[in-house]
Amino acid sequence: MQQKSEKRQLGQRRNRLRTCRTDKRTMAQRRISGGKLFITVVYLVAMCRAVPVNDLLDRASQRSDKMHSLSTLLTQEMDSHFPPYGRMQMPRPADCHTSALQTPNDKEQALQVSESDLMSLARSLLQAWVDPLAVLSTSAITLPHPSKSSISSKIQELQEHSKSLGDGLDILSGKMGPSAQAISFLPYTGGTDLGQDRVTILNKFNFLLSCLRRDSHKIDSFLKVLRCRAAKLQPELC
Amino acid sequence: MGIKHLHRNIYLSVCLSVCLSVCLSVCTSAPESPRKFDCRSREKETFSCWWEPGSDGGLPTEYRLFYTQERLREVRECPDYVSAGANSCFFDKKHTSIWAEYTMTVVATNALGNASEEFRITDVMEYVKPDPPVNVTVVVNSSAPSPFLEIRWKSPPDVDVRTGWVTLKYELRVKQNDSKEWKVIDIGSETFFNFYNVYPGLLYMVQVRCKLDHGKWSEWSNTIFAEIPKNHQLEKYFWIFVFVFSLVPFLMAMYIVLLKRNAVKQCLLPPVPGPKIKGLNAHLLKSGRSEDVVNALMGNQNFPPVAAWTEQVEDFLLVSDSDEWLLTDSFASEKNKDIFIIPAGLHLGLEIQRRDLSVDLNTWEKTDDSKEEAKSNFSNMEPINLPVEKHEFLNGEEKSIQPLASTSYVDIQQHPTLTDYSRVKEVNDNTILILNEEEIPHGLDAEEVKSEVSVPDDYSRVKEVNSDVVFLEKGDSADGCCKKKEDHYTDWTNQNKGFCLKMIASGYVDSGPAFSVK
């Protein structure tokens, strides 16, 4: 319920912002009398109340926190009934489809990255998981695992969060500049089929979930760093 | 000689070296590879790892750790073997990469060889476990309306929450000192909490712990104790309040009682009626004149009740065939209260004898005292007198006789009955009225008879049982008075013995000695 209402709010805000932008452009083009202009500008400003960036970032980081929590639970649930096949035989994290993306790996690096870049990274990672999440969702229904229904519901929840977070980040990036809106393309090449036999399917599933956990944590960390940076007026957030 | 010495020396040295080598190979060996690898990161900025060494083979063994990172191709050695203790490696901020895979190789080396083992750290985040929160303070806030615990704490040191790099979530648990169950509360990211579920006079224990970025929980912090003071002041106020509020209605009640004390007295202590003796003057008693007292108490010594009583007795008119049963007043009075047996057998025997002749109406009563008298009387076949108000019958009043309880007085009911005494055959003592069926003209009077004393033609049933009188209806002997006891009296016609047992209101007829009627 909360998600849907937030979705709606984000969507409404987006529409409002779009209308604000288009209105401003048309305004700039038409320079008629100063008096009329002034009145219309004042009217538009009053209409287009911008939602504060802090608020948006706060909501976005809450959403990403929830996503990371879900992915952590998923890996734990998988491990409870299916111990890893063997750490040596498992595909390496370097084989994740998002490992090509250069991200800060410690605090100093993360604090040195600009806000726009952090936003771009977060959005890229989020976008990279849209397709794999769909694959995971379809595979979870027929997963040879005892708690597959719980896993399936968590993945669906993840998809919803991912969608709404993506919409919110689109709005945020629009406020932050063009560099924030650049998204690195990280295609998923694993295909829709996870494998034929039970062991392969479970291994692939496990591997994907571990990649997802890592990336969701990255998104969460970057957004929280952004939130604290933007909250200079409200130090109690951080 | 010299050559011999040389040979001996060579021989000895070779022997020694062989022995030494043999000895060494037996006593010492190359080390075993280390086992069990574990790491921990406290704040998502540094981490340290430990291994468990295997057997060292009896020789001093050196352990070295080499690692590679996901991104770096080169192999590096552990930057710090000391800070984290023995058999450990500490990675400081420069050498820590989050979200990167580490491949650790621990090599054990001694003089005889080496052994190595590879360990893989997928992500340092998997080993994040912070320190417990610090500066936990619990303050009892005693403000109204009820006391509560103000619990405050601080994030563990070195954890950088300020820049948002780390998100801490806390968990709190509280329990009473003597209770077994902790109450666990999720806090979120705040560093304070107000706990309201406390009671005065109890001691509480509080602990806090935290987790970093959905990682592992830290250990619980040190236990903080807090005691809620007993709230005497509130209790005092409470009792004062209760006292004042109960005093007001109490005073009002007392006032009302005082006003209406007479009415209350009447209600609670109604006056006991004193004994009132006619002619007795209380003051007379007090004055103490014995003559007057005696007079007052004893009256005029006329004994009027006794006289009246005898008069009543004398009112009875006895009607009978024989003379012997004619009782004097004394007898009547004497027997006034006695109840006589008239054995059923006797009468019924009589009836049987005269079945066709008469209809008897029997009443039964019994005393033990009067048995013999009854017997003696009955031996004569003479029914006993009944001090019934026969005169009333003679007077033609239409009444039926119904004796009063346990006395000889008969309550006469209004009945369209007994217009004449022709039907009365016999009157026995006290309560027996025997009707002679002979004299009852059948047909016309049958119904009358029926309605009169509720004695129909057919006397087979007991029509009515009054206190001292049983109205018997005689019919078939088998259906006679012993209707209830039919099983006992199979052949009534042949038997003249036995009695009917009937339940009378005031007594019962027992089966006295059987009488055989000749």
pLDDT tens digits, one per residue of B52-100: 988 877 888 889 999 999 878 899 999 999 998 889 999 999 999 999 9
In degrees, to the nearest 5, what angle opens at C-alpha B421 toward C-alphas B315 and B317? 15
**Contact criterion met (CB below 8 Å) for B130 and B159:** yes
Distance CA A101, CA A125 (A): 8
Cross-chain Cβ contact A106/B96 below 8 Å: yes
The most confident of the ranges B158-167, B308-317, B366-375 is: B158-167
Joined together, the tokens standing for residue A58 give: 């706060």
pLDDT of residue A14: 60
Q: Find residue B174's DSSP bridge partners.
A: B183, B206
Spatial contact of B374 and B513, defined as CB atoms under 8 Å apart: no
The C-alpha atoms of residue B250 and residue B254 are separated, in whole angstroms, by 6
Which residues on chain A are in Cβ contact (under 8 Å) with B165?
107, 110-111, 221, 224-225
Distance from the B98 Cα atom to the nearest Cα atom in chain A, whole angstroms? 5
Task: Calculate what percentage of chain B has a pLDDT beyond 90.
Answer: 28
- Give the model's confidence band at B3: pLDDT under 50 very low, under 70 low, under 90 confident, else very high: confident
**B446 falls in which pLDDT band (50, 70, 90)?**
very low
- pTM of the full structure: 0.56
Closest B-chain CA to A101: B71
Put simply, the answer to whether A69 touches B214 (Cβ < 8 Å) is yes
Asked if A40 and A23 count as a contact pair (C-beta separation under 8 A), the reply is no
Adjacent-strand bridge partners of B106: B65, B117
- Res. A139: pLDDT tops 60: yes
- Closest CA in chain B for residue A218: B99
Smallest Cβ–Cβ distance between B97 and the set A92, A106, A238 belongs to A106
Weakest mean pLDDT among A188-192, A201-205, B279-283, B425-429: B425-429
Min Cα distance B60 → chain A (Å) is 31
CATH, domain range B35-127: 2.60.40.10
Q: Which carries the bigger pLDDT value, residue A50 or residue B112?
A: B112
For residue B122, the chain A residues in CB contact (below 8 A) are 87, 93, 210
B162 touches chain A (CB under 8 A): yes
Distance CA B175, CA B167 (A): 27
User: What is the nearest CA distance from B99 to chain A, expressed in angstroms?
Assistant: 6
| Cβ neighbours of residue B142 closer than 8 Å, sequence gap 6 or more | B229, B231
Contacts of B214 in chain A (CB under 8 A): 68-69, 72
Query: Looking at the predicted structure, is the pLDDT value of residue A17 above 60?
Result: no
With a CB cutoff of 8 Å and minimum separation 6, the contacts of B398 are B414, B415, B416, B417, B418, B419
Distance (Å, rounded) from C-alpha A187 to C-alpha A131?
9
Whether residues B165 and A221 touch (CB distance < 8 A) is answered with yes
Name which residue leads in pLDDT, B224 or B57.
B224
Write down the residue that tokens 């392969």 correspond to. Answer: A200
Comma-separated ranges of CATH 2.60.40.10 domains in chain B? 35-127, 134-228
- According to DSSP, residue B300 is labeled T
User: Quick one: what percent of chain A has pLDDT higher than 70?
Assistant: 74
* pLDDT, greater one: B358 or B39: B39
Contact B518, B371 (CB under 8 A): no
* Least confident span in A204-213, B116-125, B328-337: B328-337
Cα radius of gyration rounded to whole Å, chain A: 21
In this prediction, residue B61 carries a pLDDT of 87
Q: How would DSSP label each residue in B440-467?
A: SPTTHHHHHHHHHSS--S-TTS--EE-S
Question: Cβ(B59)–Cβ(B112) under 8 Å?
Answer: yes
Helix axes B261-268, B232-259, angle to 10 degrees: 90
Going by C-alpha positions, the residue among A64, A52, A103 that lies closest to residue A230 is: A52
Which two structure tokens, joined as six digits, stand for B241?
């309040």
Average per-residue pLDDT in chain B? 70
Phi then psi for B22, rounded to 5 degrees?
-60, -45
| Nearest-neighbour CA in chain B from A107: distance (Å) | 7
CA–CA min distance A106, chain B (Å):
6
Helix/strand/coil for A215:
helix
Cα B46 to its chain centre, rounded Å, is 68
Is A94 within 8 Å of B70 when comparing Cβ atoms? yes
- Predicted-assembly ipTM surpassing the 0.85 threshold: no
Q: What is the pLDDT of chain A when averaged over all its residues?
A: 82
- Using CA coordinates, name the residue in chain A closest to B166: A221
CA triple B473-B401-B332, angle to 5 deg = 110
B361 near B428, Cβ under 8 Å?
A: no
Q: Which residue has the higher pLDDT, B427 or A137?
A: A137
The CATH number of the domain covering residues in B134-228: 2.60.40.10
Kindly determine whether residue A225 and residue B213, on different chains, have CB atoms separated by under 8 Å.
no
Task: Return residues 8-67 of B near A (CB < 8 Å).
Answer: 44-45
Q: Using the Cα atoms of residue A28, residue A32, residue A34 and residue A38 in order, give the sign of their dihedral.
A: negative
Q: Does B167 touch chain A (CB under 8 A)?
A: yes
The residue-averaged pLDDT of B222-246 equals: 87
What does the alpha-carbon distance between residue A218 and residue A67 come to, in Å, rounded to a whole number? 11
Q: A89-121: per-residue pLDDT in tens?
A: 677 888 899 988 999 998 999 999 998 999 999
Confidence band of A1 (pLDDT split at 50, 70, 90): low
B 60-119 residues with CB < 8 A to A: 70-71, 93, 96-101
Of A169-173, B193-197, B460-464, where does mean pLDDT reach its minimum?
B460-464
Are B98 and A106 an interchain contact pair (Cβ–Cβ within 8 Å)? yes
Residues B509 and B203: their CA atoms lie apart, in Å, by 85
Nearest beta carbon to residue B214 from set A72, A88, A226: A72
More reliable by pLDDT, B368 or A78: A78
Please tell me the predicted confidence (pLDDT) of residue A162: 96
* Dist CA A141 CA A149 (whole Å): 7
Interface touch B99/A105, C-beta < 8 Å:
yes
Q: Do A94 and B98 touch (CB under 8 A)?
A: no
Residue environment code for B99-134, b if the CB has 16+ CB neighbours within 10 A, otherwise e: bbbbebebbbbbeeebbbbebebbbbbbbbebbbbe
Phi, psi for residue B398 in degrees, rounded to 5: -90, 95
Q: Give backbone dihedrals phi and psi of B253, rounded to 5 degrees, phi first.
A: -65, -40
Residues of A contacting chain B (CB within 8 angstroms): 65, 68-69, 72, 87-88, 92-94, 99, 103, 105-108, 110-111, 210, 214, 217-218, 220-221, 224-229, 238
Residue bearing tokens 């919409």: A167
Query: Measured at the alpha carbon of residue A184, what is the angle toward residues A178 and A188, in degrees to the nearest 5?
Result: 150
> Taking CA A97 as the corner, what is the angle to CA A91 and CA A102, rounded to the nearest 5 degrees?
110
pLDDT grade for B492, boundaries at 50, 70 and 90: very low
CA dihedral (B23, B24, B30, B36) in degrees, to 10, reads 70
Nearest to A228 among B44, B98, B163 (CB): B163
Q: Does B302 touch chain A (CB under 8 A)?
A: no
Q: d(Cα B331, Cα B339) in Å, to the nearest integer? A: 13
Please report, for chain B, how many H helices and E strands are present, in that order.
Answer: 11, 20
Continuous segment of H or E residues that includes residue B284: helix B282-287
Which of A58, A88, A106 to mutate: most B Cβ within 10 Å? A106
Number of Cβ within 10 Å of residue B34's Cβ equals: 22
Q: Which of A43-57, B41-55, B234-248, B369-383 has the lowest mean pLDDT?
A: B369-383
For B47, nearest residue in chain A (alpha carbons): A106
At B232 the pLDDT is: 74
pLDDT of A182 reads: 87
Q: pLDDT above 70 covers what percent of chain B?
A: 53
In angstroms, the CA A91 to CA B282 distance is: 125
Shortest Cα–Cα distance, B103 to chain A (Å): 11
pLDDT of amino acid B73? 83
Nearest to B162 among A99, A103, A238 (CB): A238
To probe the interface with B, which of A73, A92, A125, A221 has the most B CB atoms within 10 Å?
Answer: A221
Of B40, B44, B62, the residue nearest B53 (C-alpha): B62
Q: What pLDDT was estimated at residue B465?
A: 52
Vertex B134: Cα angle to B131 and B139 (nearest 5):
145
Is the distance from CB of A207 to CB of A89 less than 8 angstroms? Answer: no
